[in-house]
Amino acid sequence: MTYTVESVTTSSVKTRMPNARRAWTVLSLGVAAQTAGTVFVSAPAFLIPLLHTERGLSLAEAGLLASTPTIGMVLTLIAWGALADHIGERWVIAGGLVLTALATLGAIAAQGYVGLGIFFLLGGMASASTNAASGRVVVGWFPKDRRGLAMGIRQTCQPLGVTIAAVTIPPIASSSGVGAALLLPLVLTAVLAVACAIGIRNPPRAPKIADAPARVVQNPYRTSGFLWRIHGVSALLVVPQFTLSIFGLVWLVTELHFSALSAGILVGVSQFVGAVGRIAIGVLSDRVGSRVRPLRWVAVAAGACLLVLAAFDAAGWGAAAIVFVIATTATVVDNGLAFTSVAEMAGPSWAGRALGAQNTGQFLVASAVGPVMGALIGLVGYPLAFVVTAVFPAIAVPLIPRGDAEHDHL
């Protein structure tokens, strides 16, 4: 059995009250940093209409290219989390953004799809730093009764980043090409790297005193199956989320005959609504005193929305666009609940690695969504693909733990 050793005193067990202004400053910078990283990671998905309809790539090929950043994230998330556990969050976030900016420069200069995919992969490996470390910052700076709200705000990063990419990338790529479209994530990651290096401070930690008795902290993965179940549930719920975020734009263009600009705006609206939903569900979890109960409600709602979307699409009803917005919201609001639950169970000594493992499972599945769902859509069409996607939240519901768990010294 693996253990880590920490030194504590009786007074250090008590919750330290962090500086409120500093906590909100760090949260704001963490949100901005991960949003910038998400713009980079999401950009390839919004190149699909250009690559598929104008340059002849199949949906499976374009989906594979769009998935390369998430494949890169899978490779480094746990390593970034472990590094944050050891050196703190500030330089992990800032350094990762610098590397993401450099990878974006490489993608702009790349010749051919192979070179483009390699730099997308490298950028994903670098941008994983913000995912692994920014959640750890939130848990460290906010007390338990505010963590649902704080993590809900932090989890707006993904839909906000997708919103920015959805509104900007398609029209820029259509008019000026791939390189011009990538200038936005380049600027965002470079600017936020500097801002985070200046403004982020690592959360306060209990002081270590040489003559204090040692406390043995057990590996949370060996003491309970709670973390494993949350990781599995989150991986399953990623399938509908990424199916809609990757193929929503091209579905609106090819099936509902939206223009690229209007489709991008609608995808952006749906992601913005999802961002608001993440905050709301985080507040709800604080109010009901549970992360897993709202998580179960969200999983049920996501499956139901996908079935309705499939029915509307098969019937050819224009209202399918409205259902798309609702379904997108339902499929993105679970992340904050799962992340908060993981961090609370893992405790301060394991939070970085546990959040890295959480993201690794999600992005491992997400990296397969592009090519697999692209091939499935090409084979059976969108309505049946949406029905298949609804199966994943249905499987997740019985896997969600019945009660919450928390590290006893968090």
Average confidence score pLDDT of the chain: 84
Q: What is the pTM of this model?
A: 0.72
Strands 214-218, 3-7: pairing is antiparallel
Q: Quick check: 242 and 30 in contact, CB under 8 A?
A: no
- Evaluate whether 130 touches 76 at the Cβ level (below 8 Å): no
Rounded to 5 degrees, what angle do the CA atoms 313, 315, 321 make? 35
Closest by Cα among 366, 364, 386, 390 to 376 = 386
Calculate what percentage of the chain has a pLDDT beyond 70. Answer: 88
Q: How confident is the model at residue 18 (pLDDT cuts 50, 70, 90)?
A: low
Confidence at residue 14, expressed as pLDDT on a 0 to 100 scale:
40
CB-CB neighbours of 114 under 10 Å: 9
pLDDT in tens, 216-228: 557 888 888 899 9
Phi, psi of 71 (to 5 degrees): -60, -45
pLDDT higher than 90, residue 395: yes
pLDDT at 15: 41
Encode pLDDT of 322-347 as tens digits: 999 999 999 988 888 888 888 888 87
Question: Tell me: the pLDDT tens digits for 127-180?
Answer: 999 887 766 667 778 877 777 788 788 878 888 898 899 889 988 988 888 889
Rounded Cα distance, 136 and 297, in Å: 25
Secondary structure class of 212 (helix, strand, coil): coil
| Cα distances (Å, whole numbers) of residue 24 to 142, 151, 279 | 9, 12, 15
- pLDDT at position 87, please? 83
pLDDT in tens, 275-304: 888 888 888 988 888 889 999 999 999 999
Helix/strand/coil percentages in the chain, nearest 5: 80, 0, 15
What are the tokens at 192?
Answer: 């936020």
For 145, residues 6+ apart whose C-beta sits below 8 A from its C-beta are: 286
Cβ–Cβ < 8 Å for 57, 51:
yes
Tokens 């490779």 found at: 75
Secondary structure of residue 358 in the 3-state scheme: helix
Confidence of residue 17 (pLDDT cuts 50, 70, 90): very low
Largest CA distance in the chain: 72
pLDDT band at 407, cuts 50/70/90? low
* Residue 29, pLDDT above cutoff 80: yes
Which of 68-72, 97-101, 307-311 is the least confident region?
Answer: 68-72
**What is the average pLDDT across 54-67?**
78
Across 61-75, 115-129, 260-274, 396-410, least confident range = 396-410
Q: Which CATH class is domain 18-205+224-399?
A: mainly alpha
Return the domain boundaries, the chain.
18-205+224-399
The pLDDT tens digits for 104-114 are 999 999 888 88
Distance CA 67, CA 224 (A): 32
CA distance 117 to 99: 16
Question: Cβ(320)–Cβ(400) under 8 Å?
Answer: no
* pLDDT class of 410 with cuts at 50, 70, 90: very low
Query: What mean pLDDT comes out for the span 382-401?
Result: 96
pLDDT band of 122, cuts 50, 70, 90: very high
